[in-house]
Amino acid sequence: MTGTHALLSRQLSFASEKAEDMNFRTLSFLALLQRSDHLLDSYKPLVPRSIPHFIPLTTSETNMTATRAILILVQAIANQLATTSPNKSHSHTKYYTNQNWLLQMAPLFFVLQQPAVWILTLLEILTAFPGLTTPTTPATICPAKPMPSLLPTPFFYAGIALSVIGALIRVTCYRTLGSQFTFDLSIAENHKLIQSDLYGWVRHPSYTGSMCLISGLTLVHLTNGGWLVQCGWVQPWSIGVLAWWAIWWSYYIAVAITRGHAEDDQLRKVFKKEWEEYASRVPWWFVPGLV
């Protein structure tokens, strides 16, 4: 019995030592976890506090987003073509140089319009496809939470159509007038009175194209579905947006009317009877039967 008692004592002692060792290891592991937690806390300032939340898109919404991105890229290309002068004008061929200085800046505004449209196009694409950027970029360019979906709307499709139509009108005018088309009012050597193509329907079709283009850009970028609106930079149909639209439109209409009068007066002086016959046959300035 004495031997059995001694063996049992040794086993109990061994078990007690193992339990103490396991308890020590457990406490050490918990202490390590606590240190790790403190270490992570110390690095929290380095982690962005707000990571944009993306709403998963359905397959249909993904296709619509891709459609919008492609069409808005088409619009930017159309704007680039429509607002790039096909020919340089020469100072000795210019006329109507006493025009109001603000109206004379119309060609410059076309030049400034180009990078503005490309920037908006890039921001639209980066917001629609955040995977193309770094994790924090979407939150920088679009502070709205959750991140919105940029989807095409009826106004968007109408704007794209107007932009493409406007660009086609202006590019057609470039082709029809050839070297005679410049952004400054000028009379070239051996200037001819063009009466074919769009000029057989209205006398100033290039201004019609400009107004279509401006309307299209406004409908695409200043209505619901676009980057400016969805990301909270502007409110659609607000007083500010409507005022901007009115000023933009009024300016280009004023440019079209004043330059149209100047062109008619100059062509009347140069071509006399030929111009009178043309003007009587084509009385409309911008839209056949209307304006």
- The answer, yes or no, to whether residue 133 has pLDDT greater than 70, is no
Residue 195 has pLDDT above 50, yes or no: yes
The domain spans of the chain are 59-85+98-281
Q: What is the pLDDT of residue 291?
A: 67
pLDDT for position 213: 95
Per-residue model confidence (pLDDT) at position 10 = 54
Angle of helix 205-221 versus helix 154-177 axis, rounded to 10: 150
Q: At what angle do helices 273-281 and 239-271 cross, to 10 degrees?
A: 140
CA dist list (Å): 178 to 44, 152, 205, 269: 64, 37, 15, 22
pLDDT digits (tens, 9 = 90+) for 71-83: 999 999 999 999 9
pLDDT (tens digit per residue) in 6-29: 544 554 454 455 545 555 555 554
Mean pLDDT confidence for 102-126: 87
| 14, 16, 17, 21: CA torsion to nearest 10 | 140
pTM, entire model: 0.75
Residue 265: pLDDT band with limits 50, 70, 90:
very high
Candidate from 15-24, 124-133, 165-174, 187-196 with smallest mean pLDDT: 15-24
Residue 209: Cβ within 10 Å count: 23
- Residue 94: what are its φ and ψ, rounded to 5°? -75, 150
Rg (CA), the chain: 35
User: What are the Cα distances from residue 37, in Å, to 31, 34, 46, 79, 128?
Assistant: 10, 5, 15, 56, 37
- Contacts of 39 by beta carbon, 8 Å cutoff, 6+ apart: none
| pLDDT, mean of residues 170-178 | 95
pLDDT of residue 6: 52
CA pair distance 91, 104, nearest whole angstrom: 14
Which CATH number describes the domain made up of 59-85+98-281? 1.20.120
Give me the chain's average pLDDT, please: 79
Taking Cα atoms as reference points, which of 286, 266, 288, 273 lies closest to residue 184?
Answer: 266
Residue 57 is predicted with a pLDDT of: 54
DSSP string, 156-171: HHHHHHHHHHHHHHHH
Q: What is the mean pLDDT of residues 198-226?
A: 93
Q: Which residues of 70-84 are buried (b: 16+ CB within 10 A; e: fewer)?
A: ebbeebbebbeebbe
Please give the pLDDT value at position 188: 80
**Are 168 and 162 in contact, with CB atoms under 8 Å apart?**
no
Residue-level pLDDT at 231: 85
99-102 CB contacts, 8 Å cutoff, 24+ apart: 99/258, 99/259, 99/262, 100/258, 102/251
Check pLDDT > 50 for residue 53: no
Q: Which residue did the predictor score with more confidence, 8 or 143? A: 143
pLDDT, mean of residues 269-279: 93
Residue 48 scores a pLDDT above 70: no
Q: What is the pLDDT of residue 26?
A: 53
Q: What is the pLDDT of residue 206?
A: 95
Top pLDDT among 227 and 204 is at 204
